[in-house]
Amino acid sequence: MKVNPDLDFIKYMKSAGGDTLKKCYQCATCSVVCPLSSDKKPFPRKEMIWAQWGLKDKLVANPDVFLCHQCGDCTAFCPRGAKPGDVLGAIRAYAYTHYGFPSGLAKMVGSSKNLPLTIGMPALIVLIMWALSGGMHILSSEDLARYGFGHFFGHWDWRWLTKNVAFIDIIMVPAFFLACYSAYRGVSTMWKDMEKNYDVNADYRPSVPQFIQQFLVPSVKEILTHKRFNECGTNKNRVVGHLPLLLSFIALFIVTAYSAFTQDVLGIFYPQLHGPISMLNPVKMLANVAALALIFGVGVLWSNRSASESEAGATATYYDWFLIYEIMAVGVTGLCAELGRLVGVPVLAYFFYYIHLVAVLMLFLYMPYTKFAHMIYRTFAMAFQIYRESDYVKK
């Protein structure tokens, strides 16, 4: 077998948490303790040697890498301190940049050197749009209580769409669709690479409904139940952070959809719906509970990550911490903006609302290039695992 190592890939691995890679001497202890490993698929032993050899193309198109939940068992039991879990995390970080579109944006987000630009670009976009809207002024306490943040970008009398929502749509919708398109391109390319890597030849392709029902739905169901997290030993409590975080995002999506429908559809016929949602509204209560769950969940992950670095010797990486800070910023600034409105302090309310918009824009825009992308790639890696063992594929 001829090996053509990618030396740049190996250098990246060392900088992104895989600095202990060369300590591995293939004892297979990691494969013994990993619940994903089997006799025919010694995970992550084979990934460790591929990484040592610099076989980038085999690793970024390896579904097993994305199925890893970084439970920590392999790292805890490694007699050489090779930290296979950190190595696999570094591979995933590289894959999200490798498959990212546009590549320039993906590379920018993936490097800590570009953090000022990563934050500054969304902050400038929101600031420019705020200035162009003509709404860049602080309301009185009375108007803040009456309109909430509904006049942040100003006000017009066009009944079909409020000015505030129009400007938020101009900012957020393109970022959302760019993220969706980038994720689609990345997953599609990864799927083709996985088929090539595993020599998967389908007798016939499933239709879209068949693919969703037979492969995608079971994958999503497994992720929602966090089944594989419960198989972890060393870091089993990670489910305490991941599950409320996942459920909070689902709840906040429901709240956003409700708000959009009531204010921008029903609001055409009932203008009074354009104001802030009542604190006694069940959907508003759901929003506040979800925000607290989000902060709690990411707080647990923050604590776990800090403990793994201080006690287990895990490598501190930009890849891991960027998303933790980003999600915490979304939750905290959202609650602080609401508290500023409730206590009637417009300056604080508007300040935190501006930061909140920047944080949400970053979450949308950078989703395919950060650790958040594992939500998409892991789902399709699970679907591929089911697919390649199905009757569609030649045995």
pLDDT of residue 243: 83
Tokens for 153, please give them.
Answer: 């970008």
Q: Are residues 142 and 13 in the same domain?
A: no
Measured in residues, the chain has a length of 395
If asked whether residues 151 and 246 sit together in one domain, one would say: yes
Same domain, 52 and 116: no
Indicate the number of domains in the chain. 2
Residues 5-45 pLDDT 10s: 677 787 777 776 667 778 888 888 988 888 777 777 788 88
The beta-carbon contacts of 115-118 under 8 Å, at least 24 apart in sequence, are 115/318, 115/322, 118/362, 118/366
Could you tell me the residue range of the domain that residue 36 belongs to?
7-98
Does residue 203 carry a pLDDT above 70? no
Does residue 156 sit within a domain? Answer: yes
Average pLDDT over residues 152-158: 88
Q: Same domain, yes or no, for 92 and 158?
A: no
Distances in whole angstroms, Cα of residue 95 to Cα of each of 74, 84, 186, 374, 380:
21, 16, 9, 10, 14
- Other C-beta atoms within 10 Å of 127: how many? 15
Which neighbouring-strand residues pair with 393? 202
| pTM for the predicted model, two decimal places | 0.88
Residues 109 and 94 in one domain: no
Span of 109-113, 161-165, 268-272 with lowest mean pLDDT: 268-272
For residues 155 and 202, state if they share a domain. Answer: yes
Residues 76 and 107 in one domain: no
Which one of 101-115, 261-275, 306-320 scores highest in mean pLDDT? 101-115
Whole-number pLDDT of residue 51: 87
Q: Pick the last residue of a domain from 52, 74, 98.
A: 98
Q: Are 231 and 338 contained in the same domain?
A: yes
Same domain, 17 and 119: no
- Rounded distance between C-alpha atoms, residue 351 and residue 59, angstroms: 44
Q: Residue 355 domain-assigned?
A: yes
Classify residue 393: in a domain, yes or no.
Answer: no
Residue 289: inside a domain? yes
Query: φ and ψ at 102, to 5 degrees?
Result: -70, 150
Q: What is the DSSP string of 329-383?
A: HHHHHHHHHHHHHHTT-HHHHHHHHHHHHHHHHHHHHHGGGSGGGHHHHHHHHHH
The verdict on 279 and 217 lying in the same domain is: yes
Does a structural domain hold residue 2? no
Q: Does 156 share its domain with 276?
A: yes
Answer whether residue 394 is part of any domain.
no
Question: Bridge partners of 202?
Answer: 393
Q: What is the pLDDT of residues 176-198, one digit of tens each?
A: 999 999 999 999 999 999 988 88
Percent of the chain with pLDDT over 90: 41
Work out the mean pLDDT of the chain and round it to a whole number.
Answer: 86
Specify the pLDDT at position 26.
86
List the structure tokens of 227.
């089944």
Question: Is residue 269 a part of any domain in this protein?
Answer: yes
Angle of CA points 41, 43, 44, to nearest 5°: 150
Q: Are 69 and 109 part of one and the same domain? A: no
